[in-house]
């Protein structure tokens, strides 16, 4: 296995955790805010949690974009796509079993206690299915699995050593 695929596998594992925990926390935090009035009210300046949650969502979107469009190994997108799509299939077949996979007693940092509620909301609303498909499509491109071809012009050229030549 090439080193870029090992790095892609590690990126995929980290991205899976970011999508599940970070996305779950951000979704739960954003969904706890009351719905705005029909006239539209701006976000309160003193409510920093909602701003942080929106920033986390933007950061996750940026990471997703880099994985989908970047020249990283396709394993970086394959690992989280399989986790998200498998969990969605379990939800379709047996919703109770899929929701029982959510952690009941959080064993991670106390600020992420809301993450399981957000993960459940993202699963039941189909967002995880959509993200899983979006991460899986680039895996199907054969050019993503091969190393970029080197052009002959990119190879090292010896200089003549004559400064007047330049």
87 pLDDT exceeds 70? Answer: yes
pLDDT of residue 5: 85
Rounded to 5°, angle at Cα 51 from 48 and 56: 125
User: How many Cα atoms within 13 Å fall on the side-chain side of residue 20?
Assistant: 20
pLDDT digits 0-9 by tens, 96-152: 999 998 887 766 677 788 888 899 999 999 999 999 999 999 888 877 777 666 665
pLDDT of residue 157: 55
34 pLDDT exceeds 80? Answer: no
Q: What is the mean pLDDT of the chain?
A: 83
pLDDT of residue 104: 77
- The domain segmentation of the chain, as residue ranges, is 3-32+50-139
Query: What pTM value is reported for the model?
Result: 0.78
164 pLDDT exceeds 90? Answer: no
pLDDT digits 0-9 by tens, 1-22: 678 889 989 999 999 999 999 9
pLDDT of residue 163: 60
CB within 8 A of 155, min separation 6: which ones? none
CB within 8 A of 21, min separation 6: which ones? 108, 112, 115, 119
- Tell which wins on pLDDT, 58 or 112: 58
pLDDT of residue 113: 82
pLDDT of residue 37: 65
- Tell which wins on pLDDT, 98 or 41: 98
Do 75 and 144 touch, CB atoms closer than 8 A? no
């Amino acid at each position: 296995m090439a080193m870029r695929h090992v790095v892609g596998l590690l990126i995929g594992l980290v991205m899976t955790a970011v999508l599940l925990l970070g996305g779950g926390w951000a979704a739960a935090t954003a969904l706890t805010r009351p719905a705005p009035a029909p006239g539209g009210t701006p976000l309160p300046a003193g409510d920093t949690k909602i701003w942080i949650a929106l920033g986390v969502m933007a950061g996750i979107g940026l990471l997703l974009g880099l994985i989908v469009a970047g020249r990283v190994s396709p394993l970086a997108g394959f690992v989280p796509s399989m986790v998200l799509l498998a969990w969605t299939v379990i939800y379709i077949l047996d919703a109770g079993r899929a929701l029982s996979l959510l952690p009941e007693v959080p064993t991670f940092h106390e600020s992420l206690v809301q993450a399981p509620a957000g993960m459940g909301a993202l699963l039941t609303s189909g967002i995880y299915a959509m993200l899983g498909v979006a991460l899986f499509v680039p895996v199907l491109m054969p050019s993503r699995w091969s190393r970029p071809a080197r052009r002959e012009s990119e190879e090292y050229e010896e200089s003549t050593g004559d400064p007047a030549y330049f």
